Structure 1
Amino acid sequence: MSIIEINGITKDYGNRKGIFNLLFAVEKGEVFGYLGPNGAGKTTTIRHLLGFLTPDTGSAKILGMDCRKDSAEIMKHLGYLPAEIAFFDGMKGMDFLKFMGEMRGLANTSYRDALIEKFQLDTKGTIRKMSKGMKQKLGIICAFMHDPQVLILDEPTSGLDPLMQNIFAGLILEEKAKGKTILMSSHSFEEIEKTCDRIGIIRAGELVTTEDIHVLKTKRRKSYLITFDSPATASAFAKTDSFDNITLDGASAKVDVLGSVTRLMEALSGFTVIDFDTQKNSLEEVFMQYYGSTITEENATKQGGVR
């Protein structure tokens, strides 16, 4: 059963900016990652789902209701975390949570309090004095505290430290286990990879592909930095010709591997390895693996455009 539906939406701002004929759905109980560089159209898509924008063509639905006409009713069942959160800066954290809870008719605050503890949020301080990370925690709690059926999260871990990012990923998996439907926008492949069942990749306002995350993992090329006991050993390893792309730097070698790392482990068994580390590819590098170098060029032209 489709909970979120995007049916051929186009919003053309001119000069190749906007979103164009988007068509995808998110099923009940699914965590869907919406992935793309800044300026690709992720936030514009989300604004249509929230009923903030009227499309030139096409439509969007949540829980079978039209996102533009029935936005007030949809909001009763929706949790939303914007990429740029607007707060009443003069309020204290707890006062803001109480205010938002009253707006939603929140009677039972036990889940809100559990989230405050989970994210170690100090609710006594004034919002204007909070760090970016603390404000992000506050926004996350506001989105989740009324236990909504559907969650739409735009760049949810922005400003969070690695520990809080892991806690957030755990929260997403807990919500998924409850049967919640979640659309999560990000420009971080690693963030999406931890939590999502399926992803959609948007480029220059167009949906390039939707894929099962497990299928995508098998296609992803990863880089490994290996330090040997000497430059001679690194050079000898490079001469094995087992891999397409090996870059040497003294006693170290950078190796690119597509899919399983088993073959690399087997090749290394005959050499003395001092250190072994995984290098994360940037989003642009991941895109280039699938769709060619034009993605970087398009991203450069989009900077300062719609998100």
Structure 2
Amino acid sequence: MIEINQLSKMYPGGKGIKDLSFEVKQGEIFGFLGPNGAGKTTTIRILMGFLRPDSGAAKIRGRDTWQERTGLKRIIGYLPGELHFFDRLSAQEILLLFIQMHGNHSKLKENYKKLIKRFDLDIRQPVWKMSKGMKQKLGLISAFMLNAEILLLDEPTSGLDPLMQKVFIDLVLEEKEKGTTVLMSSHQFSEIEKTCGRVGMIREGELLTVEDIAQLKQIKRQTFDIRTKNEEAAQYLRQSGLHILHEEGLSFRIETSGNLNVLWRVLAETQIEEFHQQPLELEETFMQYYH
């Protein structure tokens, strides 16, 4: 459905993308992972026909995204990484404007009413009064309501609270059931892990690899802070074979990767006073993978 072949687009100063090649199959949810400035947004803008590549090709359904940029927009739902709406219009006026720009008005109105309810968005407010999270909801509604064959989503959960992130994940999985093709860039490892079958990892404009999400999980490392109740329990932990990053008295920082069954088995046989899981930063995962 989406084909990218030796795609390059360079900006003054050396930033951009270099010889990217990957494809997204019909009905697949494909994650596009990378730190800020890696080239994710540039790639998506080329797919949208907003940028002309310096070399290489980007195609959707076999059609060049620059040469046929107008026609292809009829089958794409798009969420940009930076949202800009008409500030003086209300959310309702903006959504109705988008509906008027597409066909099948009655179906789209039905869709957007359902999405408004799911995202709990007050559509009477003018955009200039909206928070970042409310604008993000408006952008997601405008992308999902079109029943598009393809969704291009650039940092889709930016500014959303955990409840709305869950709503988003549910929507993406529903689109997968319908056979929609989704390319989604993100910093959020958790949302990629829950929705995508494959991921492409990009750094400094170059594609490092395309991996099945199951393989990527095997290299994901997690860190836990543990405090034992006594020295006997601490000694048991030392001899357990777990990877201890740091130790101070009865307190330990332990790192694991892949399957956590060994950790749970050791903890079940140890007297533990405190247990905390450290949040996993996506950039940390990238660095581990790069090494």
TM-score category (smaller protein): over 0.9
Q: CA RMSD in A?
A: 1.5
For 1:205, the aligned partner's letter is G
In the alignment, what sits opposite 1:178?
A: 178
Contact 1:33 1:184 in 2 (8 A): yes
Shift of 1:248: 2.7
Q: Choose from 94, 107, 118 the match for 1:96.
A: 94
User: Would the alpha carbon gap of residues 132 and 86 (structure 1) be closer, same or farther in structure 2, given more than 3 Å must change?
Assistant: same
In the alignment, what sits opposite 1:162?
A: 162
In 2, the alpha carbon distance for the partners of 1:75 and 1:205 equals 25
For 1:267, the aligned partner's letter is V
CA deviations on 1:26-46 (whole Å, 9 max, x unpaired) are 001110000000010000111
In the alignment, what sits opposite 2:53?
A: 55
Greater shift in the superposed pair: 75-84 or 107-116: 107-116
In 1, the alpha carbon distance for the partners of 2:247 and 2:124 equals 53
In 2, the alpha carbon distance for the partners of 1:94 and 1:104 equals 16
In the alignment, what sits opposite 1:299?
A: none
Task: Determine if the alignment matches structure 1 residue 37 to structure 2 residue 35.
Answer: yes
% identity of equivalent residues: 48
CA deviations on 1:216-237 (whole Å, 9 max, x unpaired) are 111211112223324x256324
Contact 1:225 1:255 in 2 (8 A): yes
Structure 1 SS opposite 2:89: coil
CA deviations on 1:39-72 (whole Å, 9 max, x unpaired) are 1000011111011111111010112211001111
Map of 1:190-269 to 2, 5 A cutoff? 190-230=190-230, 232=231, 235-240=234-239, 242-269=241-268
The alignment's TM-score, normalised by the length of structure 2, stands at 0.95
Greater shift in the superposed pair: 26-35 or 15-24: 15-24
Aligned residues: 289
Contact 2:28 2:182 in 1 (8 A): yes
CA deviations on 1:182-221 (whole Å, 9 max, x unpaired) are 0000122222112111000000100000000011111211
Greater shift in the superposed pair: 136-145 or 57-66: 57-66
User: Would the alpha carbon gap of residues 258 and 92 (structure 1) be closer, same or farther in structure 2, given more than 3 Å must change?
Assistant: same
Shift of 1:274: 3.4
In the alignment, what sits opposite 2:70?
A: 72
Contact 1:198 1:213 in 2 (8 A): yes
Q: Could you list the runs of 5+ residues in structure 2 that have no partner in the other structure?
A: none
Contact 1:234 1:250 in 2 (8 A): no
Structure 2 SS opposite 1:265: helix
User: Would the alpha carbon gap of residues 194 and 240 (structure 1) be closer, same or farther in structure 2, given more than 3 Å must change?
Assistant: same
In 1, the alpha carbon distance for the partners of 2:245 and 2:268 equals 17
The alignment's TM-score, normalised by the length of structure 1, stands at 0.90
User: Would the alpha carbon gap of residues 128 and 268 (structure 1) be closer, same or farther in structure 2, given more than 3 Å must change?
Assistant: same
Contact 2:240 2:266 in 1 (8 A): no
In 1, the alpha carbon distance for the partners of 2:222 and 2:104 equals 45
